[in-house]
Amino acid sequence: MMQNSRMSPSHGSAFRVSRRALLQAALVAPWPAHAAGFALFGTPKYRPGFTHFDYVDPHAPVGGSLWLTPPTRNASFDKLNPFTLRGSAPPGLLSLVFETLMTPSWDEPNSVYGLLAQTMQPDADGLGVRFTLHPAARFADGSVVDAAAVCHSFAALSGDGAAPALRQQYADIVAARALGPGQVHFAFRRGDRQLPLVAAGMPVFSPRWGGGAPLQQLVEQPPLASGPYRIEHQRGQRDIVYARRPDYWGWGLPSRRGQFNFTRIGYKLYRDGTARLEAFKAGEFDLIQCFVAREWARQYHGGGFADGTLVKRELPNHNPAGFQGFVMNLRRPLFQDVRVRHALALALDFQWLDRMLFYGQYKRIHGYFANSEYEAHGEPDAAERALLEPWRAHLPQSVFGALPTLPSTAPPGSLRANLLAARALLREAGWHVRDGALRNARGEAFIFEYLESQGSLAPVIAPYARALGILGIRLLYRQVDFALYQQRLERFDFDMTTTGYAGSPAPGAELLDLFGSAAAVQDGSDNLWGLQDPAVDALIGAVLAARSQAQLRTACRALDRVLVCGWYSVPHWYAASHRVAWRGGRFGMPARLPLYYEPQAWAAACWWERKTP
């Protein structure tokens, strides 16, 4: 419980408010759309008649191959359907085989350009959007991408057979209706400026995929979609190869010109990071992104790196960092007191970790919108206060003052001082050391389990557990295989684990799945915290109702402030650059980097293989 008489959000029921009641319809300003593209705020960078994106080479040669490996925890895949909850789909499937109605550019935020749809036109009242489909758009079997296929895709992705996160994403799109073979209209439940972008980003596939079977029954059937690649072959659910389609309908589009130049793109999957790195050095694949600072400093050297066969680079990273951190499951009574959560955050010594394990390569994450303009700082301004004030009686008073800072052990700070502060908080919450352990009034020891699948955070957990041990807290470390780990997270069967999500240049509907009260009780959602707080729901509603960049920034900062003051996580760190290595001399790439990108997606879309003499 909080120190005052207000109920903690984790108790939920007394404060649970309908999401629909909180997200009121907002008046919408004129939509900045034109024949080439659509911008959430302002106008699109590329004007009608543009020929290609600035970060591609429209004259790039076609041919050769690119082998990649995903930096993910799953070492295999067991389905060819990326839209259902159970199982794992292969890497590359969504981006290479499927297409969306519109596609973003990587050098501006919140704008989309024509792909399967030539144009999009939001309704004047903001309660819908109309797409005019490209008459040349075709699925891989030569059939037309028509309005019926778009409506079929929406029905499948918003229906019971789709993963909960997808159903949540499309929850505020009421219906998709064909206005003829070449036009489709999406109707919205409320006026939300982001919903046209949500509709524009919906993947489209043929109703004939798998003979017309329901989405949840499509497992091993190769997708029937419209993208520039098709599945050529797979081996033992460990390797998969995509072949470029010479008959792809969209090679001449401005949003596709100069992209996807490799004849084949393949992915190899590995069980652990060491095997992955050694395979790269041995030439098994062409590009690797490093997420472990110690490996980057100590293992990416010698051999091919010394003679130039392998290239090692730190590329600029302007992507919003989002969040990564230890998540405390509020469904467990142990973590329902904000003072306990605060104490657990005080025990992590980031400065020691950065010095001893990370080689000084990381920056500390302080909130939930790291490395972006949406991150809260200092005291709330007048606009933030206006959003927060209706919830003053429900929120801790720290929300309305200077934002609490994360503990530091940089001089004059120390871990000892932080642990003393943590002990005081735990005592206030009713936890005292007795018989060699921290115990509550019922004599129950403070013991919890940290769950992960890869083992990559074991070096971090060890000193964290030692610090908690000084407080009398016992942390049990458990590593399980990925399939079991995924199942337990889907059922929220854990005490503490690590989660992370990529940042967005325009946070929106994904926040409902991350922090919304409805998602907290929906198996498979991303609300691992179990957070149920009407103030959070209301602030997410303000994010979705924003009609300008300034309003969006204010709403996100207010939300960030509430989440930070709730001490729901122990935040981690982020890299200010992309650490990437690739096979030197073999590939060409455009001179200009995009602003917002992921290295593997950038290589697959924008690189090409150099011609050998």
Rounded-to-integer distance, Cα 116 and Cα 132, Å: 9
SS3 of 240-276: EEEEECCCCCCCCCCCCCCCCCCCEEEEECCCCHHHH
- Cβ burial of 93 (10 Å; 0-12, 13-18, 19+) is buried
Cβ neighbours around 208 below 10 Å, total: 14
Question: pLDDT averaged over the chain?
Answer: 90
CATH no. of 37-271+578-609: 3.40.190.10
Q: Are 40 and 506 in contact (CB under 8 A)?
A: yes
- Cβ burial of 501 (10 Å; 0-12, 13-18, 19+) is middle
Assigned token pair, 112: 């989309």
What band does 271 get if pLDDT is binned at 50, 70 and 90?
A: confident
Q: Among 589, 610, 609, which residue's Cα sits nearest to residue 315?
A: 589
The pLDDT of residue 29: 35
Rounded-to-integer distance, Cα 462 and Cα 353, Å: 11
The pLDDT of residue 20: 36
What phi-psi label fits residue 12: left (phi over 0), alpha (psi between -120 and 50 degrees) or beta?
left
Using the structure block, give the residue that is written with the tokens 């690649």: 229
Rounded to the nearest 5°, which phi and psi values hold at 489?
A: -70, -40
Q: Which helix (H) or strand (E) holds 235?
A: strand 229-235
**∠ CA 592-593-597 to the nearest 5 degrees?**
155
> Any long-range contacts for 362-366 (C-beta under 8 Å, 24+ apart)?
362/293, 362/573, 362/574, 362/575, 363/573, 363/574, 363/575, 363/576, 364/406, 364/571, 364/572, 364/573, 365/321, 365/323, 365/324, 365/325, 365/571, 365/572, 365/573, 365/574, 366/405, 366/406, 366/564, 366/571
* 425: amino acid identity, one letter: L
Helix axes 458-470, 415-428, angle to 10 degrees: 60
Give yes or no for residue 9 having a pLDDT over 70: no
Which residues share a beta bridge with 420? none
The pLDDT of residue 11: 30
- How distant, in Å, are the alpha carbons of 145, 329, 490, 574 from that of 531? 41, 9, 15, 24
Q: pTM of the full predicted structure?
A: 0.73
Rounded-to-integer distance, Cα 49 and Cα 55, Å: 17
The pLDDT of residue 317: 87
90-120 tens-digit pLDDT = 999 999 999 999 999 999 888 999 999 999 9
Rounded to the nearest 5°, which phi and psi values hold at 325?
A: 175, 175
386-439 tens-digit pLDDT = 999 999 999 999 999 999 999 999 999 999 999 999 999 999 999 999 999 999
21-30, 313-322, 415-424, 498-507: the lowest-pLDDT one: 21-30
243-247, 380-384, 542-546, 589-593: the lowest-pLDDT one: 542-546
195-228 tens-digit pLDDT = 999 999 999 999 999 999 999 999 999 999 999 9
Which sign, positive or negative, has the C-alpha torsion 564, 565, 571, 576? positive
323-354 tens-digit pLDDT = 999 999 999 999 999 999 999 999 999 999 99
44-81 tens-digit pLDDT = 999 988 999 999 999 999 999 999 998 765 678 999 99
Assigned token pair, 562: 């509430």
Q: Among 282, 162, 135, which residue's Cα sits nearest to residue 216?
A: 162
Read off the pLDDT of each residue in 187-193 and give the average, rounded to a whole number.
87
Rounded-to-integer distance, Cα 586 and Cα 308, Å: 11
Q: Are 183 and 130 in contact (CB under 8 A)?
A: yes
The pLDDT of residue 467: 98
> End-to-end CA distance of the chain, in Å?
71
Q: Which helix (H) or strand (E) holds 447?
A: strand 447-452
Cα 324 to chain centroid, rounded: 10
Cβ neighbours around 378 below 10 Å, total: 9
Q: Are 129 and 99 in contact (CB under 8 A)?
A: no
The pLDDT of residue 178: 98
Using the structure block, give the residue that is written with the tokens 């992309």: 578
Length of the chain: 613
Give yes or no for residue 86 having a pLDDT over 50: yes
Ranges of H-type helices in 380-473: 382-388, 415-428, 458-470
Helices (H) and strands (E) counted in the chain, each on its own, are 19, 27
Q: Among 416, 325, 308, which residue's Cα sits nearest to residue 362?
A: 325
Rounded-to-integer distance, Cα 550 and Cα 611, Å: 48
| Interacting residues of 44 by C-beta distance below 8 A, sequence separation 6+ | 32, 34, 36, 37, 38, 108, 111, 113
The pLDDT of residue 127: 95
The pLDDT of residue 549: 86
Give yes or no for residue 514 having a pLDDT over 90: yes
Return the domain boundaries, the chain.
37-271+578-609, 320-574
CATH no. of 320-574: 3.10.105.10
**∠ CA 542-548-549 to the nearest 5 degrees?**
95
What band does 26 get if pLDDT is binned at 50, 70 and 90?
A: very low
442-474 tens-digit pLDDT = 999 999 999 999 888 999 999 999 999 999 999
